[in-house]
Structure 1
């Protein structure tokens, strides 16, 4: 079967690449080191259980949730899929 310029598994390679990029981006945003005792944004105390559970934590739960919502709304696929380029 002729497949033109793309290899047979090009779509799966694109999916795998997108997932790898997303995982790398998230891992690069993880904090390391000692946790803060007070939130970096609102200066409220961070519970000791959170400090232990999340190494390098910088924000309280509320600020973390707000930050996550903003991050998720700006995420998009920077690469055009092969299918969208053919249309």
Structure 2
């Protein structure tokens, strides 16, 4: 059910686009290629099981955990924001 000037299914299209964007971003951030044997951040050896599980990994678990905590995710759906549509 759409309202106003939107067509039917527009809300679902926004949801689908948001999910698609998140998947594409995650794929782009996934390391690829040959794994490093030592962490790029601290220089500690990366365990062989980690290198086998994540091809292209460049950091140890501890340093990657710190990096993951530093990432801030937006909770705003810009595609569905009425403010952005009215400007």
Question: TM-score scaled by structure 2?
Answer: 0.82
Structure 2 residue ranges without an equivalent (≥5): none
Q: 2:22 aligned with 1:42, yes or no?
A: no
Aligned position for 1:85: 82
Structure 1 residue ranges, 4+ long, deviating more than 3 angstroms after superposition: none
Q: Distance in 1 between matches of 2:2 and 2:79?
A: 22
The DSSP-based 3-state class of the residue aligned with 1:38 is coil
Aligned length: 82
1:3 Cα deviation from its structure 2 partner: 3.5
Structure 1 residue ranges without an equivalent (≥5): none
Given the superposition, is the C-alpha separation of residues 44 and 10 from structure 1 closer, same or farther in structure 2, using an over 3 Å criterion?
same
Q: CA RMSD in A?
A: 2.1
